[in-house]
Amino acid sequence: MALLLKGTGSALPEKIVTNKELASIVDTSDEWISERTGIKSRHISTGETVASLAAEAAKKALTDAGVQAEDVEIIIVASCSSEMALPCVACQVQSIIGANKAVAFDLNAACAGFLFAMNTVDAYISAGIYKNALVVGAEVLSNIIDWEDRGTCILFGDGAGAAYFEGKEGRMCYVQRSDGFKGDVLACRQRSPKNAFYTSEDIPHYVTMDGREVFKFATRQVPEAICEMLNAAKLEADDIDLYVLHQANLRIIESISKRLRVDLSKFPTNVERVGNTSSASIPLLLDELNRDGKLSEGMRVVLSGFGAGLTYSACLLEL
């Protein structure tokens, strides 16, 4: 079996923070950010939560697919920034949208999370366990960013994207990898360990990143993963209509385009307007393309995500 994309949806916080506004709170400038990342603005939560954004995106995806919430069989939410440890975001979404028959759980593979969730629902559907799935990527990264660190606070934004899938004849082509040996180059602690018998040093709970190492990882591993996936699908790079990549940094996307020797016009972006939204970035961009009429039946779309873990993935989505 393969996955048939039936509907998409997205949600962004109302507040838009420009580079100029960021420059008023941290030592940076619009020129400095734009030159290094391509980012011009990002949406930042002023009360919206991972669950509320995820549910809004999910509702829109179901509306786009013409499906009722009670018909959804499984909901997976990919996220690394939920405000609550329990219940999981997916169960909160299930409650908010009224998907009373669905099984629901979260998955954390950071910026590759949406694709890892897609691979998971493909396995469920191929096994005949479920016939449809709602996959959501949702983040409120502004809660785990050090707003005094210009190396990270300029990069990230908040938002959610969702996709509703059903099974169809065919075979999904995936490459999915992890490299936990380099996990410390992009990390974030949760609360410091503390119980009745032990208390550790209190360490700030912010994202830390070695940007140089992340850049090297993405520009090396992502093209390799895409080429491996294309070989499995018996396709050439030019056979693909669109490359929908994780929106981490415009320079990374440009580098991947060059390494694949594919024209940059096949690499749509929205990083300039929403920043890096981690697991939400791919479904956010998919929904934008869908709403703009840029997705049509018969198209071949490569999706690729990469990020903390380190994790990375590539898959072929045939519309």
**Residues with catalytic function:** 111, 246, 276
* HSE-up of residue 236 (Cα within 13 Å, Cβ side): 4
Which of these, 120, 95, 97, 92, lies nearest to 108 by C-alpha position? 120
Cis before 4? omega within 30:
no
| C-beta contacts of 17-24 below 8 A and 24+ residues apart | 17/41, 17/42, 17/43, 17/44, 19/154, 22/153, 22/154
What span, in angstroms and rounded, lies between the C-alpha atoms of 11 and 280?
10
What residues form DSSP beta bridges with 188?
A: 207
What span, in angstroms and rounded, lies between the C-alpha atoms of 147 and 245?
26
Could you tell me the CA-to-CA distances from 242 to 169, 262, 300 in Å, in that order? 22, 10, 7
Q: Identify the sign of the CA torsion 107, 110, 112, 114.
A: positive
What span, in angstroms and rounded, lies between the C-alpha atoms of 213 and 4?
36
Could you tell me the CA-to-CA distances from 124 to 208, 235, 295 in Å, in that order? 35, 26, 25
Q: Are 280 and 159 in contact (CB under 8 A)?
A: yes
Could you tell me the CA-to-CA distances from 116 to 17, 135, 178, 253 in Å, in that order? 30, 10, 11, 20
